[in-house]
Amino acid sequence: MEAEECPRCDTGLPPWLATFADLMSLLMCFFVLLLSFAEIDAIRFKKMADSMKDAFGVQREIPVMDIVKGVSVIKQEFSPSTSPEPAVVNEIRQQTTDAEQQNLDIHDGKEQKGEVDVDDAVMEAVAEKIKREVEQDAKALQETLKKEIEEGLVSVETEEAKIIVRIQEKGSFPSGSADLDAGFLAVMDRISAAVAKSPGNVIVAGHTDNVPISTARFRSNWELSSARAVTVVHGLLKNPAIDPARVMIEGHADSRPLVPNDTPANRAINRRVELILERGNDVDKGDMLIIEDSKG
């Protein structure tokens, strides 16, 4: 009977908890606003931190004006007021005599010299390989242009890693003109075919004699020599096998004569267009690797 007379409690949270939660939320928002409006004085904060450190610190600093006198390699602490007891340390020192130093210098010199000798040998082998290839390509060009060489229209020479094909003015260009003769076009086709087979860069350089020229088309020998070089390049590039990136044009006028311009015959020799096939920059790196492997 007493259990039935006890009133039942209401379900859920008590009503006062909602008011308490609102109060806590308002307080939190209030302090957040205070924090957002506050400005921290860094200097004052540092002073306060230093004062706290001095008040609660356990270490005492002793100013030392003299040089540290600790000599022990074992003990890490020292006291400026008392002289520390030096620890017993056994020192082992090794001295090199003059004779041993001389032997070391000779040995190092041999090693360095050996490295230089190996590098020189590699470079000489590569240069010799390039020279043989240049001579072979030059012989092939001479066989291709044998008829023109016999007639004195073209000459083929070698100079270190270069093949120089000289096209004389006779039979190739009319006097004072940059247009190729019709009979020389077939020769240009054979020259371009040979150049396409030969690797390396191609420099086409025009040259004249020292007789001044001033026409409606060419103001000087500079323009004439450059125009003739351009004409030869156009003849070369008719062959699609020649990469235009390999070709470079130069005009030298009378600045680089082969012989003195003192006779008509010598001036005729100086009027020319040179095709210079350069080797060396295009050497395959595989050749270097093969040579280096062969020495090991």
Task: Report residue 76: phi and psi, to 5°.
Answer: -95, -15
CA-CA distance, 148 to 182, in Å (whole number)?
15
Which residues are within 8 A (CB) of 78 and not within 5 positions of it... i.e. 6 or more apart?
68, 69, 70, 84
Domain boundaries defined on the chain: 127-285
CA-CA distance, 193 to 187, in Å (whole number)?
10
Q: Which amino acid is at 286?
A: G
Query: Looking at residue 177, what is its pLDDT?
Result: 84
Q: Which residues are paired to 116 by β-bridges?
A: none
Residue 240: is its pLDDT beyond 60? yes
Q: Which segment, 45-49, 88-92, 159-163, 256-260, is predicted with the most confidence on average?
A: 256-260
58 or 125, which is more confident? 125
Structurally, what CATH architecture does the domain formed by 127-285 represent? 2-Layer Sandwich (3.30)
CA-CA distance, 138 to 158, in Å (whole number)?
7
In whole numbers, what is the pLDDT of the chain averaged over residues?
76
CA-CA distance, 15 to 100, in Å (whole number)?
100
Residue carrying the six token digits 């400026």: 80
**What is the DSSP-derived secondary structure letter of residue 18?**
H
Say if pTM beats, i.e. exceeds, 0.75. Answer: no
Query: Looking at residue 117, what is its pLDDT?
Result: 58
> Quick one: which of 99, 72, 101, 98 has its CA closest to 84?
72
Q: Which residues are paired to 46 by β-bridges?
A: none
Average pLDDT over residues 190-203: 85
Tokens of 160: 């270190």
Q: Which of 15-24, 66-75, 168-177, 212-221 has the lowest mean pLDDT?
A: 66-75
For residue 191, how many C-alpha atoms fall within 13 Å in the half-sphere facing its CB? 31
Q: Which segment, 123-127, 143-147, 148-152, 253-257, is predicted with the most confidence on average?
A: 253-257
Q: Convert the pLDDT of each residue in 99-135 to its tens digit.
A: 666 666 665 655 555 454 556 776 777 777 777 888 8
